[in-house]
Amino acid sequence: MTATAVVLELPQRVTTPRRVVGALARLEALRIVRHPAFLLGLLGTVYTLIQERGADMQQYWMLSGQAFATLGATTFLAGFLNASRVSRDRAGELYAALPGSDAIRTGAILLSLAAAAAVATVVTVVAWLLAVGPDGRIMIELETLTPSLLEPAQAPLIVMAFGALGVCFGRWTPQPILAPLLTIVVWVGPVAWSIPWVSMETVPSLPYNTDWVVGSAAWHLVFLAGVIATASGLALLRDVRRPDTVLVAAGGALAVALGLALA
User: The whole model's pTM is what?
Assistant: 0.82
Assess contact for 222 and 257: CB atoms under 8 A.
no
Specify the number of domains making up the chain: 1
Q: How far is CA 112 from CA 51, 77, 146, in A?
A: 30, 14, 33
The answer to whether residue 17 scores a pLDDT higher than 60 is yes
Rounded mean pLDDT, 229-254: 92
Q: Residue 196 gets which letter from DSSP?
A: T
Residue 230 belongs to some domain of the structure: yes
Rounded mean pLDDT, 14-26: 76
Residue 10 belongs to some domain of the structure: no
Alpha carbons within 13 A on the beta-carbon side of 229: 20
3-class DSSP state of 198 = strand
Rounded mean pLDDT, 112-136: 89
Residue 103 belongs to some domain of the structure: yes
Alpha carbons within 13 A on the beta-carbon side of 175: 5
Confidence (pLDDT) at 201 = 44
**Domain enclosing residue 254, as ranges:** 18-262
Cα–Cα dist 45/47, whole Å: 5
Confidence (pLDDT) at 109 = 93
Cα–Cα dist 137/243, whole Å: 46
Confidence (pLDDT) at 95 = 52
Q: Give 123's pLDDT tier (boundaries 50, 70, 90).
A: very high
Higher pLDDT: 51 or 121? It is 121
Position 70, amino acid: T
Q: What percent of the chain has pLDDT over 70?
A: 75
Cα–Cα dist 222/257, whole Å: 9
For residue range 127-136, what is the model confidence (pLDDT) as tens digits?
988 888 777 7
Per the DSSP assignment, residues forming a β-bridge with 213 are 199
Q: How far is CA 177 from its chain centroid?
A: 22
Residue 12 belongs to some domain of the structure: no
Residue 66 belongs to some domain of the structure: yes
The Cα angle at residue 251 between residues 248 and 255, in degrees rounded to 5: 135
The answer to whether residue 199 scores a pLDDT higher than 60 is no
Confidence (pLDDT) at 101 = 75
Residue 65 belongs to some domain of the structure: yes
Confidence (pLDDT) at 174 = 86
Residue 140 belongs to some domain of the structure: yes
Residue 1 belongs to some domain of the structure: no
For residue range 210-237, what is the model confidence (pLDDT) as tens digits?
555 556 778 888 888 999 999 999 999 9
Spatial neighbors of 116 by CB under 8 A, at least 6 apart, are: 32, 33, 38, 71, 75, 78, 159, 160, 163
Give the dihedral of Cα atoms 218, 41, 37, 98; nearest 10 deg: -30
Q: Give 24's pLDDT tier (boundaries 50, 70, 90).
A: confident
Q: Which long-range contacts does 191-197 make (Cβ < 8 Å, 24+ apart)?
A: 191/162, 191/165, 192/69, 192/72, 192/73, 192/162, 193/66, 193/69, 195/65, 195/66, 195/69, 195/158, 195/220, 196/220, 196/223, 196/259, 196/260, 196/263, 197/64, 197/65, 197/154, 197/223, 197/263
